[in-house]
A and B are shown apart, each in its own frame.
Chain A
Amino acid sequence: MITARSQPTFVVTFAVTYAIFYVVSVEYNLALFTYHPALEEFGFLVEKAKDGPAMYWYGWMATSAIAAFVLAALASWVPDGWAKRVWPGWSWVAPLSVMFVFVYILRRFFLR
């Protein structure tokens, strides 16, 4: 149960863990499901490309959203004293940092 008092802990934890899980999901391909656009088929977890490319983007987001929701829900149970120490700025520091990580990961597109 996410009460009004635990909402800040929940949203900050969600923003941080979602960003981290997303970049980890992309790097290690931890997609919850795969979409094969040419076949218009979904497959559970990571599947190799069949007839045409395989799309993992939706699966990466699903993995990240579920993992972040669970962790944020758990974090919202921490005592108030701890929750008050959570810096709200982490809600933008983490995603912004991950954006820079993606710029680094994808640098090969821009440095050819």
Chain B
Amino acid sequence: MIVALLILHGLLAVALLGAITHQAISVWVPMRGAAGSFVGRMRAVPAKSYVNAIIVLYALTALLGGIIYPTYRLSVRIVLEQMQLYVPNGAFELKEHFVALGLGVLPAYWYFWREPQAAEHARTRAVLTALLAFIVWWGFLVGHVLNNIRGFDL
């Protein structure tokens, strides 16, 4: 059951990573002209269309992470401590706090992205998106490394 939830957690994280990355790229380096290339089309996506998906995916991914967290606490973290793997352990501690802080940002993120979008809030929207993108990338990479830590020869 935990393995199934872990895989589902990972799949939701991939979807969230894709959504927030597309939105962040389209906000920070928007496409001005016609989008002909792969990268150009990524920059040209309508950023607003990702907002609800990002909020739902973030909440669901965090919820699933919270459900499987006790197993990590009992089965993985104790081993990391015994093996004195301080950096992966600390990276996960940061992940837990960053994700929690991201949850607190979601209402503001939703508000500043909703219609009608005020021009004076463009920077706030962009930075909130970047902040969430960083948290999601951090969480994804740390989770990925810890999930496969035996293969990292640490």
Number of A-B contacts (CB under 8 A): 100
The reply to whether B107 and A14 contact each other, CB–CB distance below 8 Å, is: yes
Do A106 and B90 have beta carbons less than 8 Å apart?
Answer: yes
Give min CB distance, A105 to chain B, whole Å. 9
Chain B residue total in the interface (Cβ 8 A)? 35
The segment from B27-35, B92-100, B139-147 that touches chain A is B92-100
Report the Cα distance A40→B73, complex, angstroms.
12
Please tell me if B66 contacts chain A, counting CB pairs below 8 Å.
yes
Q: Is A77 an interface residue (CB 8 A)?
A: no
Q: Are B121 and A19 in contact (CB under 8 A)?
A: no
Report the count of interface residues on A (CB-CB < 8 A): 40
| B24 touches A (CB below 8 Å) | no
**A68 CA to B77 CA, complexed, in Å:** 30
A49–chain B nearest beta-carbon distance, Å: 11
Determine if B104 and A106 form an interchain contact, defined as CB atoms under 8 angstroms apart.
no
The secondary-structure label for the interface of chain B is helix
In contact, B104 and A95 (Cβ under 8 angstroms): yes
Contact (Cβ within 8 A) A109 B86: yes
Q: Which residue of A lies closest to B134 (CB)?
A: A99
A98 is an interface residue with CB less than 8 A from chain B: yes
B74 A110 Cβ-Cβ under 8 A = no
Instruction: Report yes or no: A53 in contact with B86, Cβ–Cβ below 8 A.
Output: no
Which of B87, B104, B112, B131 touches A64 (beta carbons < 8 Å)? Answer: B104
- Per the bound structure, the CA–CA distance linking A11 and B121 in Å amounts to 13
11-51 of chain A: CB within 8 A of chain B? 11-12, 14-15, 18-19, 22, 26, 35, 37-38, 40
Which 9 interchain pairs have the tightest Cβ spacing?
A: A109-B90, A18-B104, A37-B70, A91-B108, A11-B108, A11-B111, A15-B108, A88-B124, A11-B107
Chain B residues with CB under 8 Å of chain A are: 66, 69-71, 73-74, 77-78, 86-87, 89-91, 93-94, 96-98, 100-105, 107-108, 110-112, 121, 123-124, 127-128, 131
- A11-B110, A89-B123, A89-B124 known; 9 new pairs, CB 8 Å cut-off, are A11-B107, A53-B74, A53-B78, A57-B66, A57-B100, A92-B131, A108-B86, A109-B93, A112-B86
Provide 9 A-B residue pairs closer than 8 Å at the C-beta atoms, listed in order of the A residue. Answer: A55-B70, A65-B103, A89-B127, A91-B124, A95-B105, A98-B101, A102-B98, A110-B86, A110-B90
